[in-house]
Amino acid sequence: MVYKFRVILDTEEDVLRDIAIKDSDSLEDLHNTIINAFGFDGSEGGSFFLCEDNWEQLDEEIALFDMGDVPGEQKTMADFAIKDLLHEDQTKILYIYDPFVNWTFFVELASIESEEDSSEKELPTLLFAHGVLPDEAPEKSFALDVNNDDIFGEFDDDYDDDDYGYFGEEEGGYDDYGYDAMY
């Protein structure tokens, strides 16, 4: 089968590429196709991340290289055929190229065609390009949505300010122990 993907750079401007690749190719082949389509030199690593339908990233990372503590313990892109992770029910995956600057791409499976019906005979291939890659990766904001009124998020200890005596104001303050008179 031929998988056709739309790969969109996470930026304000529209920068996208449509690519076609065999479903039996590996995620490493998809990685190489993406970096070639966007004009990267390929000197940096990358990772794919499974995600929800709303592009919310899941924990599982599939890196280009095994970076685990025990060699061979972590599966890499070469270990997965594209069809093993992406199909009609799971069409979205996130791709990050160069984890030090985080070029982030939304990769979505747009269509699936049989090889006989596909007009693309040399795969993988770039089908369509729109937009120019910026000189630098768009900045990412990793800030959490935190209400500054309650930085601990719904923290409630059942105590009010009135539960504590302030020195000199209420019973139990310095005035009650005569400290002022002694000094």
- Judge whether 29 and 95 are in contact, CB under 8 Å: no
Taking CA atoms, 131 is separated from 7, 38, 56, 142, in Å, by 12, 10, 25, 25
Q: Are strands 92-97 and 57-63 parallel, antiparallel or unpaired?
A: unpaired
Alpha-helical runs (H) found in 101-164:
none
Interval 55-80: pLDDT, tens: 999 888 999 998 877 887 889 999 99
Interval 131-147: pLDDT, tens: 999 989 888 755 445 45
Q: Provide the whole-model pTM.
A: 0.75
Token pair of 160, please?
Answer: 């009010």
